[in-house]
Structure 1
């Protein structure tokens, strides 16, 4: 137990950090988040994971990647709830960050200033190719940003866009392969769809 306290003391002295994992749908964001959180657990750090309560596509109490990797999470209604529930964590994971309210960047900053390593995963762009939610702000304040790419289902090139297959103009439409597909810039901009 002394070792864990020493690790946390050193991390607190050095300061926390904010890491962002972003990209289009099907790019492996959640898989990478789970990988990093599992490595923190191997290091015997206390890890807490949070997800938006509204996103229950796979599991109500876990984040699940498209390849079925899974890790238990706490669904919350707001970003401020993370501060209340993560008081003694060394590492905080946040999945589907684009669905959180505008308080998430401030919550991440408070946690990082407390010496916590905050790892945030989410879509950087919506289906219209525009910045999504508070992700641009979090990316701006982060120490590191990892932008992942999927594979374009049309041509096989790297894909950075989430193309919506269904006709629905609402900003948020939870869905999977029946509703979205990854596309490169050229195929995303193809009118024929």
Structure 2
């Protein structure tokens, strides 16, 4: 028996979150590869805005990759899932860089889980200023399983829980845009104490 997207058996949501350089994409790829070994049908998605390492794959900072569907928005994910299910029933939906999607992602993830899918979402929990990075905090609240990863602070080597944005070597201003594509900026993983923001 199948629902709108697929099986109506109980599904669930796994949320992988943390700062940049904490291994979120690596963990997503690890789970995807295990599902594929188990001969499950998997679709991986990533937003078109994220073309740092590859235009066609989810890629980690150290070059590990998995093939992905590139979409502009949540509607693109919906459409590709429907298209795929016309040929073969899907088991797992994985979404990388979830923070770059609108809050419509919350509704889609809930629908897919209720329709029997295993959903894996990876994304930043906070922005460069340490604020909740929508829609990830709400997904954290709704997910069955939450994995919060830490990086290592580049300043003091303590667990890093913040993403530092530097522009020309200086901390970004709190009034800067949350999402900046193609700018002259650098990111670092830092702990709470070493994280800096221009007020």
Spell out the pairing of 1:139-158 with structure 2 (5 A cutoff). 139-158=140-159
> Per the alignment, in what secondary structure is the counterpart of residue 101 of structure 1?
coil
Please list, as runs of the form range in 1=range in 2, the aligned pairs for 1:16-31 lying within 5 A after superposition: 16-31=11-26
- Aligned mates of 2:62, 2:23 — CA distance in 1: 9
Match of 1:186 in 2: 193
TM-score scaled by length of structure 2: 0.85
Question: Shift in Å at residue 173 of structure 1?
Answer: 2.2
Alignment of 1:126-141 (within 5 A): 126-141=127-142
**Residue 175 of structure 1: CA displacement?**
7.1
Matched-pair contact (CA < 8 Å) for 2:49–2:181: no
CA deviation after TM superposition for structure 1 residue 13, in Å? 6.3
Deviation at 1:164, TM superposition (A): 0.6
Contact 2:8 2:114 in 1 (8 A): no
**Which has a greater percent of helix?**
1
**Bigger CA drift: 116-125 or 182-191?**
182-191
Q: Does 1:159 align with 2:154?
A: no
- 1:172 corresponds in structure 2 to 179
Output the CA distance in 1 between the equivalents of 2:197 and 2:105: 34
Residues 28 and 148 in structure 1, CA contact (< 8 A), matched pair in contact too: yes
Aligned to 1:38: 33
Between stretches 93-102 and 180-189, larger displacement belongs to 180-189
Matched residue, 2:4: none
In the TM superposition, structure 1's runs of 4+ consecutive aligned residues that sit over 2 Å from their partners are 173-176
Cα RMSD over matched residues? Answer: 2.1
- Provide structure 2 residue ranges, at least 5 long, that are not aligned to the other structure: 1-6
Q: Is the alpha carbon distance of 1:174 and 1:26 closer, same or farther for their aligned partners in structure 2, counting shifts above 3 Å?
A: farther
8 Å CA contact retained: 1:83, 1:111? no
TM-score by length of 1: 0.88
Deviation (angstroms), 1:57: 0.9
Instruction: Report how far residue 92 of structure 1 moved.
Output: 0.6
